[in-house]
Amino acid sequence: MRGTKRLLDHCAAFGVKQLVMVSTGAVYGAAPENALYMNEDEPLSASRTYPEIRDRVEVDAVVSGFVWRMPEIRTAVLRPVHVLGPHSTGMMADYLRRDRPPTVLGYDPLIQVMHEDDWCESIALTLAKEIAGVFNVTGPGVVPLRTAIAETAGVPMSVPEFALRPWIRAAFAAGLVPWPEGAIDMLKYPVTISGERFVHATAWKPLFSLPEIFAAHRERRSEP
């Protein structure tokens, strides 16, 4: 957080004209009361049940405030959906490369994904259009989690939540999986966001379809 504030201070002091901050749609948090398509005005609640993401939530909030505090600097905060592809990283990217990814028994939330090349293009478009503000960035649609697993050549391993939580907690502590216990809620509840504001500002349209995204992600697999 201190580094982010220092960066923003330097941007103001040295006359930076444009700044793009990469956040994530996960900052809204996974919760049963979530609206189907959340807009940028929704509260950032991820750290409520997912403390490991607290730093990202705080950085997002600080830079989002900077957007309005320093209007002379064209600052854009981008909150993308899950980014997939052969070079992508992150919780969902790693999860969907597993042969037997664990799922919570009785749950199958909707998720949103986009191709890594589309994500790069959206950043370039943000710079080219010189837009400022907070923007969700979405892909071609939504899909149930279990469908995403099947489309990336995985087989879901359904586990009751009471057994999954201690297993994930122990596996994360031992370095066997990269997702902490708080990420389990993302396997239960949807975090679906509206990208209308970004589309209106940039005429954004993703190039890759859902089948193409999943096919690209299958190019690189990891062992459980």
- Residue 146: inside a domain, yes or no? yes
65, 68, 73, 75: CA torsion to nearest 10: 60
- Residue 7: inside a domain, yes or no? no
**First-to-last CA distance in the chain?**
33
For residue 78, what pLDDT band results from cuts at 50, 70 and 90? very high
- Residue 3: inside a domain, yes or no? no
- Residue 125: inside a domain, yes or no? yes
| Average pLDDT of the segment spanning 193-222 | 92
- Residue 41: inside a domain, yes or no? yes
- C-alpha 138/C-alpha 203 separation (Å) is 13
> What pLDDT is stored for residue 220 in this prediction?
65
pLDDT single digits (tens) 161-203: 999 999 999 999 998 888 899 899 999 999 999 999 999 999 9
Residue 47 has pLDDT above 60, yes or no: yes
Helices of type H across 76-209: 91-95, 116-129, 145-151, 161-173, 196-202
> What pLDDT is stored for residue 13 in this prediction?
87
- Residue 224: inside a domain, yes or no? no
% of the chain exceeding 70 in pLDDT:
97
Hey, is 155 helix, strand or coil? coil
Q: Is the pTM of this model over 0.85?
A: yes
Domain hosting 119: range is 17-217
> What pLDDT is stored for residue 223 in this prediction?
41
**All residues at 6 or more sequence positions from 54 whose CB lies less than 8 Å from its CB, including other chains:** 46, 47
For residue 224, what pLDDT band results from cuts at 50, 70 and 90? very low
- Residue 150: inside a domain, yes or no? yes
Query: Domain with 89 in it: what CATH number?
Result: 3.40.50.720
Backbone angles phi and psi of 83, in degrees to 5? -100, 125
- Residue 11: inside a domain, yes or no? no
Residue 222 has pLDDT above 70, yes or no: no
CB 136 within 8 A of CB 110: no
Q: What letter would DSSP give residue 114?
A: E
**Which two tokens mark 99?**
């042969």
Residue 116 has pLDDT above 80, yes or no: yes
Length of the chain: 224
- Number of C-beta neighbours around residue 72 at 10 A: 10
CA 160 centroid distance within chain: 25
- C-alpha 161/C-alpha 164 separation (Å) is 5
pLDDT single digits (tens) 141-155: 999 999 999 999 999
Indicate the range of 3-17, 39-53, 154-168, 179-193 predicted with least confidence.
Answer: 39-53
Count: domains in the chain:
1
